[in-house]
Structure 1
Amino acid sequence: MGVSSNNPPPRPVAPSFDGLKAWRRIINPVRGFMDASASRLSGQVEEFEPEIRQYISHALNAQGKHLRPALVALSGLATGSVNDGHTTAAAIVEMVHLATLAHDDVMDDAQIRRSRPTLSAQWGSHLAVLVGDCLFAQSLRLASEFPTTAVCKAVASATNTVCSGEILQDRNARNFDITREDYFRVIQMKTGELFALSAELGGLLNNAPRPIQAGMRRYGMCLGTAYQIFDDCLDLFGEEGHAGKTLGSDITKGKATLPLLFLLESGKPEEQAQLRAWLAIWEATDLTRLRERMDAAQCLPRCLEVIDNLLKDARSSVSSLPDNEGRRSLEDLTLFLSAQAAALNESARLPAA
């Protein structure tokens, strides 16, 4: 299978969907909470030895949308109210997330994240790994200070699952024979789990009934899984200026994502074998030929259907909650991601989480 020499044409930008404006509207009911959570997170720098605070500060001050803290807050609002415990829980889940990013950047040899040098690029991989370890430890320390052990247990379990998912993904690198079931297992572990924890903690800290907590957890898992699939589609079908990363990087790293799995399942056996042989020696950044084959196999529409079904399940998971600002914002969050996915052919504007 040959590779064309032309770069893929940029996708046109759709002016009709303002992702940033929509995001601000969703979190408006908890805007004050988000500020308090960010302050609680940055305040953790002082908990470390003076000599290493600059490294911790670099890791904690990443410029993202803080989606996981928002989930803690909105889930708390949907199941009652938000309090200081929710603020701490939000800082905990974001710290776990940032710890995984520090380690991810080492494994991927990433030089830049969110327009800044990564920890490993600026100070070396050894230091970056240790900073990630420090953040994991500090998140568990904070979780242990709650009057109930349930919080620390949930955080520790989720951290275990996320790291295990990363290991499984690394083991599957350049294995283009994995099944869709294998793929979903990995993304639920490495991405969905922390979303699930965030939503679950919102209800747990309000002493919500167990079925409500389970519903919140399912909401987070469905949302996080859909988010990861969208990110995987963005890597292949996005427009580089809006994607915020080099397109095709997942294939370069040997990751078999859902669009690619749909393509591998299509066609005659000899065509599938030819595609696998090409992927095994993939080095090009050119995606034109691959996109053409994926378009012919309807890979993107099939992925978007999966995303929509997951988001419907997420909304169903909170349908029994009272009709309040928190629940409405949780529902709007799924519609926000659905709109992002629907616009993917024209514009790719995924917020950094």
Structure 2
Amino acid sequence: MSTLGVVVSIDGARDPAASLKPLLDLVSAEMAGVNRIILDKAVSDVELIPELAHHLIDSGGKRLRPMLTIAAAKLSGYGGEGHVRLAAAVEFMHTATLLHDDVVDESDVRRGKASARRLWGNQASVLVGDFLLGQAFRMMVDVGSLSALRILSNAAAVIAEGEVMQLSAAKNMGTTEDEYLAIINAKTAALFAAAAEVGPAIANRPAAEQAALRSYGRNLGVAFQLVDDALDYAGDSARLGKSVGDDFREGKITLPVILCYRRGNDAEREFWQRTLSGGDIRDGDLEHAIGLMRRHKAIEATLERARHYGAIASDALAIFPESTPRSALAEAVAFCIARAH
């Protein structure tokens, strides 16, 4: 089956790399420390654990979530070292969720190469994910902040709830937009929110500042996921690190599909029922799905919603005085949106 999509550009969008550069520059020294901790904590006498963990850790993810932790701590004037260890814990939590996600979704590809579950099997992927979660909590305890432990442990529980919610909604064309947003708020945005909130928490900043950065992270996370949803039907495989149409082939009900289904006629709804609910995907179906997305402007509507959540994230930073960290966090919002350019 062909995997060609249509690359959607956003008027006035900037180069994603340029938008991310201020954040990269801001956190580069601390992220070197995060990377050292990650390598150290992925070690185990059980040979399969580091082998499988490094397969994903070394696969080229941007590590956006731990960068948010570092930047938020800097914005909050934190002067200690705990933010580096918490950033590593955030990345381990994210890596664990990816391992678990691929098992639940039966994904064969992750970041452009064979997924861990495909190479080592579902059981090993789940158990190594559990190991990484355990290491993440060890690092939280080492930092000694009950506030940080509360924020990140709560996020871990919410993420698991999101996974169960997504499982319940799988292949269900009756899923509403509100239900889908609840899923991604739990499954994706909760970790973004926690990653940003722990910075001011360990700096003992006022509750209003913690709430502001939590709001920033949550809305950034929603925007990030919505752009991902759009790119699956309108992206560039080489830049995505995965094939266009992976969500379609896995039968995922994402926002572009929900909008297309609602806006379509009976024949079009039958198409979505056959392919996503029934799993009967034939040659040419992806191209037809993309055509329906164009007809009903589902990609544009999804990106418009992403811009909306991105604007909320940017506005959440307004209570902080102008500074290099605030500017870098604002540019991170631009990066998330510009990935659709």
TM-score (norm: length of structure 2): 0.90
**Other-structure match for 1:228:** 225
**Other-structure match for 2:63:** 66
**Other-structure match for 2:303:** 304
Report the secondary structure of 1:316's partner residue. Answer: helix
Count of paired positions: 335
Cα deviation, residue 273, structure 1:
4.1
Instruction: State whether residues 97 and 129 of structure 2, in contact with CA within 8 Å, keep that contact through their aligned partners in structure 1.
Output: yes
Q: 2:148 & 2:270 partners in 1: Cα distance? A: 50
1:92 equivalent in alignment to 2:53:
no
1:278 equivalent in alignment to 2:277:
no
State how 1:1-353 maps to structure 2 within 5 Å.
8=4, 11=7, 18-46=15-43, 48-49=44-45, 51=47, 52-81=49-78, 83-268=80-265, 270-271=266-267, 273-279=269-275, 280-281=277-278, 282-284=280-282, 286=284, 287-341=286-340, 343=341
Report the secondary structure of 1:174's partner residue. Answer: coil
Amino acid at match of 1:306: R
Cα deviation, residue 6, structure 1:
7.0
Instruction: State whether residues 224 and 337 of structure 2, in contact with CA within 8 Å, keep that contact through their aligned partners in structure 1.
Output: no
Q: 2:124 & 2:2 partners in 1: Cα distance? A: 40
Amino acid at match of 2:240: A
Cα deviation, residue 113, structure 1:
2.5
Q: 1:62 & 1:6 partners in 2: Cα distance? A: 25
Amino acid at match of 1:283: I
Amino acid at match of 1:277: Q
Q: 2:109 & 2:45 partners in 1: Cα distance? A: 26
Q: 1:285 & 1:206 partners in 2: Cα distance? A: 55
- Structure 1's unaligned 5+ residue stretches are 344-353
Instruction: State whether residues 265 and 272 of structure 1, in contact with CA within 8 Å, keep that contact through their aligned partners in structure 2.
Output: no
Gap change, CA 1:307 and 1:138, over 3 Å in 2: same
Q: 1:285 & 1:34 partners in 2: Cα distance? A: 44
TM-score (norm: length of structure 1): 0.87
Instruction: State whether residues 77 and 325 of structure 1, in contact with CA within 8 Å, keep that contact through their aligned partners in structure 2.
Output: no
Instruction: State whether residues 174 and 253 of structure 1, in contact with CA within 8 Å, keep that contact through their aligned partners in structure 2.
Output: no
Amino acid at match of 2:317: V
Cα deviation, residue 242, structure 1:
2.0
Q: 1:61 & 1:340 partners in 2: Cα distance? A: 22
Q: 1:111 & 1:255 partners in 2: Cα distance? A: 14
Instruction: State whether residues 73 and 82 of structure 1, in contact with CA within 8 Å, keep that contact through their aligned partners in structure 2.
Output: no
Q: Deviation per CA, 1:68-118: give whole Å up to 9, x if none.
A: 011001111112135310000100000001011112222333344334443
Amino acid at match of 1:296: R
Amino acid at match of 1:103: H
Amino acid at match of 1:331: A
Instruction: State whether residues 6 and 233 of structure 2, in contact with CA within 8 Å, keep that contact through their aligned partners in structure 1.
Output: no
Cα deviation, residue 271, structure 1:
4.3
Cα deviation, residue 291, structure 1:
1.9
Instruction: State whether residues 176 and 256 of structure 1, in contact with CA within 8 Å, keep that contact through their aligned partners in structure 2.
Output: yes
Gap change, CA 1:176 and 1:85, over 3 Å in 2: same
Gap change, CA 1:35 and 1:82, over 3 Å in 2: farther
Instruction: State whether residues 216 and 312 of structure 2, in contact with CA within 8 Å, keep that contact through their aligned partners in structure 1.
Output: yes
Instruction: State whether residues 30 and 70 of structure 1, in contact with CA within 8 Å, keep that contact through their aligned partners in structure 2.
Output: yes
**Other-structure match for 1:347:** none
Amino acid at match of 2:313: A
Cα deviation, residue 298, structure 1:
1.5
Gap change, CA 1:148 and 1:23, over 3 Å in 2: closer
Cα deviation, residue 54, structure 1:
3.2
Cα deviation, residue 155, structure 1:
1.5
Superposition CA RMSD, Å = 2.3
Report the secondary structure of 2:174's partner residue. Answer: coil
Gap change, CA 1:330 and 1:82, over 3 Å in 2: farther
